[in-house]
Chains A and B, each alone.
Chain A
Amino acid sequence: MTPDKLAYMANQIATAFARLPDDEAEAAIAAHIDQFWDPRMRARLLSLAESPNTGLSDRARGAAALIRRPETA
């Protein structure tokens, strides 16, 4: 799972909630990722969100704080 592809998928989800205000959108993105992403994908996304210039949109990055922490990263 390349970082580019993960970032692309997260940004696609963010775009789908583009009409919502920031806080609601970030909650919706995080909820979607919690519901559908396996822990290793979430762990990678979280590490992407911690480093700059990884291609994540602002809202996808913002949602990272709300994403459920996987137990085994």
Chain B
Amino acid sequence: MKDFILPDADFGTPARRSDKTVTLTIDGMDVTVPEGTSVMRAAAMAGIEIPKLCATDSLEPIGSCRLCMVEIEGRRGTPASCTTPAADGMEVHTQTPKLAKLRRGVMELYISDHPLDCLTCAANGDCQLQDMAGAVGLREVRYTPGANHFQTRQNGEANPRFEAKDTSNPYFTYDPAKCIACFRCVRACEEVQGTFALTVEGRGFEARIASGTSDFLNSDCVSCGACVQACPTATLQENAVIEHGTPDRAIVTTCAYCGVGCSLRAEMKGDRLIRMVPWKDGKANRGHSCVKGRFAFGYAAHPDRIRNPMIRETIDQPWREVSWDEALAFTAQRLRAIQAESGTGAIGGITSSRCTNEETFLVQKLIRQVFGNNNVDTCARVCHSPTGYGLKTTFGTSAGTQDFDSVEAADVVLVIGANPTDGHPVFASRLKKRLRQGAKLIVADPRRIDLVKGPHVQAAHHLALRPGTNVALLTAMAHVIVTEGLTDSAFITERCDAEAFADWAAFVSEEHLSPEATEALTGVPADQVRQAARLYATGGNAAIYYGLGVTEHSQGSTTVMAIANLAMATGNIGRPGVGVNPLRGQNNVQGSCDMGSFPHELPGYRHVHDAEARGVFERLWNVTISDEPGLRIPNMLDAAVDGSFRGLYVQGEDILQSDPDTKHVAAGLAAMDCVIVHDLFLNETANYAHVFLPGSSFLEKDGTFTNAERRLNRVRRVMAPMTGLADWEVTMALANAMGAGWDYAHPSEIMDEIAATTPSFAGVSYDLLEREGSVQWPCNAAAPLGTPVMHEAGFVRGKGLFVITDYVPTDERTGPRFPLLLTTGRILSQYNVGAQTRRTANTAWHGEDRLEIHPHDAETRGIAEGDWVRLASRSGETSLRATLTDRVSPGVVYTTFHHPETQANVVTSDYSDWATNCPEYKVTAVQVALSNGPSDWQEDYAAQARAARRILPAAE
């Protein structure tokens, strides 16, 4: 760990957990540690630093560098302290004349094959080799340069051992000349990331680190950066450090990409962010990160950032840059005029799952208090709203039941409709670690995701179901569990509603729901379903992790309830290692839901029908809160086309690109009279906006994000907002332009208001977060430090409720015109609509959306690898290039939706979940055919977007 400049104590070897402790003496000091702890770690815990190079506390020790040797009374030789377990009564000496001599000898050998260019080296001042040379008192190197790896030429000829730098990765450089062969990078790739991309070639003096057979960029490397972080020298070095020098201060904050919510140290030089380093004490990520969180932050300083507010009368005009005051006055006047003409309910807003809890709370407050209605929604509408409905119905509250640490205690993991290695990579690394220790994996996914088979990980069962048949598959699993007597009767009797269970058990036992009877629907062999069900029910602690492949269906809510049924029936709820875990997409989508972003719910998931809950806000805000549910996003767009909904404030979301049936979204937006987009960039939605309020990135403001495990993590301002105002200040200014009179001086005051009004957050404050680092809600008098595992003593709703889950096929059907099923997903290097990642070097991995098609389906259509194809559905058509792969089954095609040029959502349908209107992204009947390039629609769209993005030059 390169942490000498900005220390983050390295104990040398990982912590051990044990009920037993041992006491030893190190340099005369008594130390008591858990059994299994290394002597090196015990010493570090006592404040004694033993020199080391190959050891770091994120990796298991290998005892290779020989620098950490110690002397132990009664033992012969000088054992390596990193691999020697501490024992009771041991007397250890870390500094003796004998050790000093040996260590100097070791260092001398290391330095004999290392360039002495320290002053101009990128790791200067941040190099453990340099530090250790100092620590052991190395004063001379007696060896004359013989065979070595660092001189480009030797004896007048090219040095055959010298390898040039590998600069293929856009974020870091591999310089083999500086390598000391400590293998920390190789071990980090294996143990921390679980990708096994790096290896060691050759033995002894010939040992070199290699990324397979090619350069880093074209290898299996996923650019997580764990190797760079582990490297003790400049061998693997961030390019930003090479370019700008070492950072001088660090501020712990929270990643703004996915719902894992990694804690990162933003390492700064002045107001420039040099690098992000995962924070070891981050409870979600435990010191790991992915290519997005660690490296893809350059969008925040991208020239596309809009820095001034802009307005226009109509959307066919160019933008006009104006002052904040003018923009806000224009907006307030328009919104009030619409309400005067068309009623209180004619305007609304969308909160952002990218913004902080505090900002989200303010947007829904603006709508409820100042707009005077409940027309507020958030992007969870199009992702996990069925989780909200399904888990609230069955368990009583809408959130994942576990923390991420829980996976360490799981014996069987069922992953449904999620692709963690791409969508939630840091969780995937933690899952893979557990799988390598022997936990069993069941994957239910139409596509062969990476987890199905990878290095040292193989799913026991891959249930490759036909898109749209989740409910039939899960109910068939329930059929097996009930009819084969695999239920946990004690749990059910004690914890669940007996009558509902009896009804459900009778229902799932019906013969037509058996795996054999539903095989024709799901396409999954009955025997596989039976074996998977038995494994889930009887394999020990069984945990379910699921994603949008569950929710984004016309039966999304039913599928969530089917998942909850399985967990309850087998007693897999209420302790570590089990549970029902929605992998939330956005960094703060959990938080945006918690903060009252749904049109039927006040903060804390209290329905607007609840007079007591309304009263809390009415007294504080001095208004009457409407007891009528507001419009959901798809309903807003429908109502806009009807003319009854005319004004929309969209904070940090790009509904035109992300929501289904693009043409319908565009028609809804075009019909409105005041669309306000509050964002970093002129996104696709802004093409239809009248007001653009420039946003601030997560680096520019204080606040909190809540991740998929209900954990509130602090977001800390590391630089000033580029536009002068953080997003919460902009929302406040808009509210005040409409007469609200808000006067928050800091986001902590907003959190205080959240705590004062919302029982599950009653104990949360910035002081608590500073003290504890993070907490998981509920956090209140009953759980002052938060709640890692939910439903431990009983379900939030009282008794767990089994719900009958009849399979209803979607109305989106294949037929002669549209014979294939399209499903969609994400890729590791890009993020959702790509607004951020497309503005970083991550495009090196994924520069365009591709259509995955099975070679059989491709062959019958005459499609070859890389061909342009036309993808058409009943809703629309687009063109993109094809990739032939057997990851998808015949009859199924797959694409990502990261690039606006492709606009995969022009193809997706208008069908949605019966309970929540969550769109059915995951099933669209399509046809694929060869094409010549972009479709007419794509060209029209691009032309409209170009025209809509014109900005008038500033007035002289």
Contact = CB atoms under 8 A, between A and B. Distances in A.
Given A36-B600, A38-B629, A19 B806 contact: yes
Contact of A15 (B374, B632, B914): B914
Given A5-B638, A18-B806, A19-B507, A38 B631 contact: yes
A72 B345 CA distance: 10
Interface in B163-218: none
Contacts of A1: 635, 638-639, 641-642
Interface string A1-35: 11001000100110110110000000000001011
Nearest to A5: B638
A32 B915 contact: yes
Contacts, number: 59
Looking at A16, A37, A38, the one whose CB has the most chain B CB atoms below 10 A away is: A38
Interface in B512-566: 554, 557-558
A34 B629 CA distance: 8
B916 interface: yes
Interface residues of B, number: 31
Looking at B554, B599, B607, B914, the one whose CB has the most chain A CB atoms below 10 A away is: B914
B242 interface: no
Interface in B569-604: 599-600
Contacts of B343: 72
What's the interface size class on A, roughly? 20 to 34
B914 A13 contact: yes
B375 interface: yes
Given A36-B600, A41-B635, A19 B628 contact: no
A39 B628 contact: yes
Interface in B594-639: 599-600, 607, 609, 628-632, 635, 638-639
B806 A38 contact: no
Nearest to B804: A19
A19 B867 CA distance: 48
B914 A35 contact: no
B628 A9 contact: no
A12 B916 CA distance: 11
A46 to B, nearest CB: 14
Interface in B899-919: 910, 914-917
B345 A38 contact: yes
B808 interface: yes
Given A13-B915, A16-B914, A38 B628 contact: yes
A38 B914 contact: no
A46 B95 CA distance: 86
Contacts of A15: 806, 808, 914
B317 interface: no
Nearest to B811: A8
B148 interface: no
B780 interface: no
Nearest to A33: B629
A12 B806 CA distance: 12
A56 B914 CA distance: 15
B635 A38 contact: yes
Contacts of A37: 629
Given A15-B808, A18-B806, A19-B806, A36 B916 contact: yes
Contacts of B558: 16
Contact of B639 (A18, A19, A40): A40
Interface in B306-324: none
Contacts of B554: 12
A71 B345 CA distance: 13
A38 B609 CA distance: 12
A35 B629 contact: yes
A71 B628 CA distance: 9
B644 interface: yes
11 contacts: A2-B638, A5-B910, A9-B914, A9-B917, A16-B915, A36-B600, A36-B632, A36-B915, A38-B630, A38-B639, A40-B345
Interface of A: 1-2, 5, 9, 12-13, 15-16, 18-19, 32, 34-41, 70-72
A-B pairs, top 3 by smallest CB distance, nearest first, are: A12-B914, A1-B638, A38-B631
